[in-house]
């Protein structure tokens, strides 16, 4: 895992832990607390999905770039 990936995972873990502690210490009904936790988890899941999608897109772009390099090499030296 790259350093950026480790930072993202660390930040997300910190956000989850902080939100959980905040929710547990807040004087609210159980149903309201569960709803807030559920919403927070959905937001975190959406953020993770967005980051993964961005990384997949970046890898696809790198793959296309690499394929162009390989094709040029093949045309120049193999043909």
* Residue in the structure block whose two tokens are 């502690």: 21
User: Where in the chain does DSSP place strands (E)?
Assistant: none
Q: What six digits make up the tokens of 47?
A: 């953020």
Q: Are 18 and 37 in contact (CB under 8 A)?
A: no
According to DSSP, residue 2 is labeled -
User: Quick one: pLDDT band at residue 66, thresholds 50, 70, 90?
Assistant: very high
CA dihedral angle for residue 35, residue 36, residue 38, residue 39, rounded to 10 degrees:
120
Q: Any residues with CB less than 8 A from the CB of 74 and at least 6 apart, and which? A: none
Q: Where are the domains of the chain?
A: 3-78
List pLDDT tens digits, range 6-57. Answer: 888 888 888 888 877 877 777 767 788 788 888 888 988 898 899 889 999 9
Q: State residue 31's pLDDT score.
A: 81
Q: State residue 68's pLDDT score.
A: 93
Q: pTM value?
A: 0.54
């Amino acid at each position: 895992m790259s350093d950026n990936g480790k930072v993202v995972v660390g930040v997300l873990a910190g956000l989850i832990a902080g939100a959980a502690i905040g929710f547990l210490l807040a004087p609210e009904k159980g149903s309201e607390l569960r709803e807030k936790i559920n919403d927070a988890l959905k937001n975190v899941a959406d953020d993770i999905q967005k980051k993964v999608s961005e990384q997949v897109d970046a890898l696809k772009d790198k793959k296309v770039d690499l394929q162009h390099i390989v094709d040029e090499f093949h045309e120049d030296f193999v043909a």
